[in-house]
Structure 1
């Protein structure tokens, strides 16, 4: 089974109002302290999760493009010593498209980063300001151009289903985005996450989220335009040319093992789920005292693993292989999937079934969460 490595850099220049990720703003960062702590955490994880060559590394955050390239280089060198790298390893770094960070792209590529994911989020300046971004659209496009010069593969993110957004507005923006020639796009609907500034704004009546019907129409338009441009959805929010899918995230969605290090990082290995301390200062203290940043480690019940594998795998266009899941988790098919609901949704054209492989049909994609809640067997949930 493939092994991936996730490294979390928790620092941002500013906290965006929609963001519920583990990100923190600090006046200064002691890079040497973080180098020692992250390398110690890497080594501790490798002691219990060694034996498989890494097929992908992902620097997430936070804003890992704010990390000094020298530190990224050191972490990659250490990871290669500990695990070894596959010949075709994918090494991705999330980056904000600011001119300051774009100046580091050449050095990051030299360190071994071969794929970058740019958080452009919008091609409209007013929207970027509302989203709390520090860059403008022109700056973002210049950063995209720079990234395409230095990295083998480039992806960027856009957020849609914004308050009052129309089909024509989104059609114009996504058509522009498709014209930049990247092989991968991540297109996310705005969700109002608890604990964010936007959640407070909605509660206070500052703005109203786009209604579900309008958001569904935008979702359908997104699928039509990206597929027509040769970047079909391979996952609910991710679109790529064939062969250009994000290999690291496929590890998550295919429910394969991965190691996660750094503040708040999640990992999964051999049926165990791990979580690192979220607050940066607590993470540093834990590594100093115990040699690793783990705050919680638990053995997942087989029923929980099976449910997670279904919920993750059915986000993919390729779906899941029920026979493989039956064998992997020692469960009968009726213990995984509600057969009566399955037959009903297949007849309605919302679900497809091809031999033992099951997936969500295009007409079912806008209803994904509701379908998943119905399809997963009560026997599995109650186990």
Structure 2
């Protein structure tokens, strides 16, 4: 059975003001202890799954490239020792511009990584400063250029809806990124999450967030420019050249199986969704003490699994094959949602052909959360 593998590195040079991910700043000693525990955990979790074929591997964070290339390659070698990694596996590493240079990227490519995902976010220095990013626009340009030389497959992450951002600054960032020739672009709307410094700044009136209309305008602007440059809009926030869709993320959106290793990493195996201990020190202690690292687990019944499958699939241009999902989960989705399906088509929110429901990029994807909620009830 083909399976994805996610490996989490929870450390960063600094914590961005908008970030609510499981990440943070840590001393070198803790980072090295975590690396050792991570490799031990990979052996324990992955070796019993030796009958599975690993089709994708994704090193995410945090900032995996806070570690030297040799450490990252060492973790990848541990994975290969424990499991059958397909010859054509997509092996991605996330990176931030301030943590890579040409030599490091070449060493990572030589060590087996096949794809690099760079967290650029913006090529406007004022926007980067507001977000609390550790790199400058020039450093980001250098990193993308170096990645382009080292890797055949690179992706760039961007953020829109940054307070103070304008259509002109967003167009300038998009235009420069297109000229740097990435194979894949992820463009995310800025979310102001509770318990982040950005949320506190907004609550205190220090920062004025952009309204929904501005976000929609930036979303449409990204679509127009990237599609015009030959990218396919294959998921709400993701664009790719032919054959360069992120295969690992497609595993998530198709609700297929994956194993997560590392602090806070999630897994979905044999119908069970689980997540690991999130705190890095507690995770290390659990691994070293040979205690369970899984903090939460839930077995999904047919109806819950169907709802999740639809929610995830509707994020993609592929859409949700309701008949296939019904057969797999033992529920009749079409019969239970006939009125909803007819209304979605009538309103131009979705198309529905031969059992496949697809949200329209122009309107439906903007309403994804509201539509998906109808199927989760």
TM-score normalised per structure 1: 0.93
Query: For 1:245-271, what per-residue CA distance to the aligned partner results, in whole angstroms no more than 9, with x for missing partners?
Result: 000111101100000000110111001
CA distance in 1, matches of 2:31, 2:17: 27
Shift of 1:278: 0.8
Provide the residue aligned with 1:265 in structure 2. 265
Check the 8 A contact 2:253/2:313 in 1, yes or no.
yes
Check the 8 A contact 1:99/1:143 in 2, yes or no.
no
CA, structure 1 residues 348+31, in 2 after alignment: closer, same or farther (shift >3 Å)?
A: closer
Pairs within 5 Å for 1:67-146: 67-98=67-98, 103-146=103-146
Provide the residue aligned with 2:246 in structure 1. 246
Query: For 1:314-341, what per-residue CA distance to the aligned partner results, in whole angstroms no more than 9, with x for missing partners?
Result: 0001101111101110111247x62212
Runs of 4+ in 1 over 6 A off after TM superposition: none
CA distance in 2, matches of 1:117, 1:28: 24
CA distance in 2, matches of 1:99, 1:20: 21
Check the 8 A contact 2:323/2:334 in 1, yes or no.
no
Shift of 1:81: 2.3
SS at match of 1:129: helix
Provide the residue aligned with 1:147 in structure 2. 147
Shift of 1:19: 0.4
Question: Which stretch has the larger CA shift, 42-51 or 8-17?
Answer: 42-51
SS at match of 2:29: coil
Provide the residue aligned with 1:340 in structure 2. 339
SS at match of 2:289: helix
Q: Is it true that 1:41 corresponds to 2:68 in the alignment?
A: no
SS at match of 1:177: helix
Query: For 1:6-26, what per-residue CA distance to the aligned partner results, in whole angstroms no more than 9, with x for missing partners?
Result: 000111110000101100211
Pairs within 5 Å for 1:1-383: 2-30=2-30, 32-98=32-98, 103-290=103-290, 293-334=293-334, 338-363=337-362, 364-374=364-374, 376=375, 381=377
SS at match of 2:97: coil
Check the 8 A contact 1:11/1:25 in 2, yes or no.
yes
CA, structure 1 residues 58+51, in 2 after alignment: closer, same or farther (shift >3 Å)?
A: same
Question: Which stretch has the larger CA shift, 59-68 or 48-57?
Answer: 48-57
RMSD of Structure 2 on Structure 1 (CA)? 1.7
Check the 8 A contact 1:20/1:193 in 2, yes or no.
yes
Question: Which stretch has the larger CA shift, 353-362 or 36-45?
Answer: 36-45
Residue-pair matches, total: 376
CA distance in 2, matches of 1:222, 1:243: 20
Shift of 1:373: 2.3
Question: Which stretch has the larger CA shift, 95-104 or 362-371?
Answer: 95-104
Query: For 1:58-105, what per-residue CA distance to the aligned partner results, in whole angstroms no more than 9, with x for missing partners?
Result: 000010011222222222122122221112111100001126555421
Shift of 1:171: 2.2
Check the 8 A contact 2:322/2:357 in 1, yes or no.
yes
SS at match of 2:28: coil
TM-score normalised per structure 2: 0.95
CA distance in 2, matches of 1:207, 1:190: 13
CA distance in 2, matches of 1:302, 1:204: 45
SS at match of 1:186: strand
CA, structure 1 residues 99+71, in 2 after alignment: closer, same or farther (shift >3 Å)?
A: closer
For structure 1, which runs of at least 5 residues remain unmatched after alignment? none
CA distance in 1, matches of 2:132, 2:354: 47
Shift of 1:188: 0.6
Check the 8 A contact 2:186/2:237 in 1, yes or no.
yes
Check the 8 A contact 1:44/1:291 in 2, yes or no.
no
Shift of 1:342: 1.3
CA distance in 2, matches of 1:165, 1:129: 12
Query: For 1:4-46, what per-residue CA distance to the aligned partner results, in whole angstroms no more than 9, with x for missing partners?
Result: 1000011111000010110021122355533431122112222
Shift of 1:175: 1.9
Shift of 1:290: 2.0
Check the 8 A contact 2:4/2:251 in 1, yes or no.
yes
CA, structure 1 residues 77+291, in 2 after alignment: closer, same or farther (shift >3 Å)?
A: farther
